[in-house]
Chains A and B, each alone.
Chain A
Amino acid sequence: MITVGRYNLRWQTLLTIVVLTLLCLIWVYPFLWMVSASLKTQSEVFSSGLNLIPQDPQWHNYQRAWVDAQFSRYMINTVLITVGTVILTIVSTSLAGYVLGRYRFIGRRPIMAILAGTIFIPAGYTIIPTVDLANKLGLLNSLWGVILVLAGTGNVIHILLFSAYFSSLPKELEEAAVLDGAGFLTVFFRVMLPLSGPVIATVTILKFLGSWNNFFVPLVFTFSRPDLRTLSVGMFAFVGENETDWTGMAAAATISLIPVIIIFFVMQRRFVEGIAGAVKQ
């Protein structure tokens, strides 16, 4: 009986693995198809059925996307926007999270209440006045405009993450530093900020994903400046302009997705922890 039971268990595990493998294959298939199509000829995409291996890799598809379709330009724009947004976000949210988490002061409660009240505001609700304001400030049609808008939206969770972390650090830390004659700034930059590495990493990843993948803001900010498009906006425009160039499209999509996928694989643990943190709190 026990042997049968054990056999049964193994058989079940095996079945589970087979089913999961099939599911995962279906799950990643669109990506495999995309990479495969990016190396095929136009006619091969239609004729080769489900065969993913290209007969003769067509690397010039990438050249067409990278040079002719300007994806090199879009890549630079996206990197600049992402780096700028992440840096601005880390600076502003760590400073705010520190004082909100560690001090009681006049105005703290209303600030917390206003922040909490805006967590779930959808982009569609604020986009029209945002464009109007950017227009009046001369920020429309500039990368800076996109960076400032992205750094000024969707940060409440990040502030709360910093605030929760800083409030959990023991009091003795800064008391010791204060005895040594450290002022407010020294305590923050020399004692507190260096300790907040894990939160900085989490916020960096969440904001990196948010700004690299953003579409609505760069779309409406670059209507009259095609040279400022990001990868996602460029992709949208590319399809509108070259409806039949499937292989060029696949190459452009691969170029756009490879950086996030690589960063995801390198920092997988932090990605998962960062996202899981939303439920655990």
Chain B
Amino acid sequence: MTVLSSQNRGAPASLAPSTILNKVWRDRWIYLFLVPTIILFGLFTLYPMIASFLLSFQDWNGFSREASYVGLANYQEVIADPQFWMAFANTILFMVITVPIRVTLALILALVLNNPKLPFAGFFRTALFLPVVTTMAIVGVVMTFVFDPVGGPVNQVLMDTNLISAPINFLGRSNTALPTAMGIHVWKWFGVTLIYWLAALQTVPEELYEAARVDGASVYRTFRHITVPLLVPFGIIIVLITAIDTLRVFDLILTLTGGGPFLKTEVVEVYIYRWAFNSSIPRLGYASAAAVFFGLTTMFMAILQGLGYALVRRMRGTS
């Protein structure tokens, strides 16, 4: 069997439909290999994507009930709901604030850890990466206790060192809950961004640094003129991957605060969950409209990422 040229084999061009059928029949093993993916992916990724969109035009109050077509009413209601916009704003705020922190801090630490002469670099990397592999939902629960105003260690440290005079209810106060959740999010996922940067730094050839050293370039100049230009393409990708990451904070928010206090930490996925699964009368069509809105936002980010990749390729091509 010839690889990558199976289209060129087979029957000579005769009637088009039978040619196609012949080709399909000849490649039957190929299609058979795709069957598991087509079934699993089709049922649980592709179908729900399309169905979610169709559902968003319906009024539907429970999985066992009938739905009725309502046109754009759900969307009108979503757009008019200040709670939705609060959740949307929280989601965007989460991204806008945590992404720069994660990307910058991770870059600084990656530069430090990338030094081959630094002892225990592997140990430090492991410690910083550890939260990444742990279960977010469980970490969220543990953190509610770590930040507890009565017996949580964070308040105990702050009290013992006299930094504060009364315990702070970090997750219960409306002005501290979201920043605390963001801090925990950064802590949890920081290691991934660090590994991305380390991988990027590995691509800078050691000879370039040596050449710079021989020429007597300072650490700053080496960074500015060798490391930065080579890292920019990776930086674009890392920012985008990190940004899309931060759109998924359902586990953290639901286990940490449940969206409270006063919906101050509710993100779009929690909003969808609340309307679809956690209200006395589920509103599945309405929740779907919010989901489609959110899905479009994510897709917009993904398109940006695609453009980013294209840009990176062009930059690599010219350099």
Contacts and interface: CB of A to CB of B under 8 A. Distances in A.
Given A103-B6, A121-B298, A33 B135 contact: no
Interface string B73-106: 0000000000000000000000000000000000
Contact of B134 (A103, A124, A213): A213
A151 B43 CA distance: 11
Interface string B43-83: 11111110110010000000110000000000000000000
**Interface of chain B, helix or strand or loop or mixed?**
helix
Interface of A: 13, 16-17, 20-21, 23-24, 27-31, 33-34, 37, 45-46, 49-50, 88, 91-93, 95-96, 98-100, 102-107, 111, 114-115, 118-133, 135, 148-149, 151-153, 155, 159, 171, 174-175, 178, 184-185, 187-188, 209, 212-213, 215-216, 220, 223, 231-233, 235-236, 238-239, 246, 249-250, 253, 256-257, 260-261, 263-265, 268, 271-272, 275-276, 278-280
Interface of B: 1, 3-7, 20, 23-24, 27, 29-31, 33-34, 36-37, 39-41, 43-49, 51-52, 55, 63-64, 112, 117-120, 123-139, 141-146, 150-151, 153, 156-157, 160, 187, 192, 195-196, 198-200, 203, 234, 237-238, 241, 244, 247-248, 250-251, 254-255, 268-269, 272-273, 276-277, 284, 287-288, 291-292, 294-295, 298-299, 301-302, 305
Contacts of B198: 276
A275 B52 CA distance: 30
Given A50-B153, A103-B4, A279-B241, 20 more contacts: A20-B120, A27-B128, A30-B143, A92-B37, A104-B4, A105-B6, A107-B31, A115-B41, A122-B294, A126-B49, A127-B273, A152-B45, A215-B136, A216-B269, A253-B138, A263-B133, A275-B195, A276-B196, A278-B196, A279-B237
B63 A125 contact: no
A34 B142 contact: yes
A250 B152 CA distance: 12
